Structure 1
Amino acid sequence: ELNGADFISASPTVASDIDNDGGAGIKFGLTSTSKSSQMSVKRFTRWLEGLGIKTEDSN
Structure 2
Amino acid sequence: MITENPNKVCLILWKAIALKKLGLDPAQSSSIMLTIITDIAGFMSFLGIVLLLSDMLPKG
Q: Same fold (TM over 0.5)?
A: no
Q: By percentage of residues, which structure has more strand?
A: 1
* Max Rg structure: 2
Normalising by structure 1, we get a TM-score of 0.34
Relative contact order higher in (CA < 8 Å, ≥ 6 apart): 1
TM-score by length of 2: 0.33
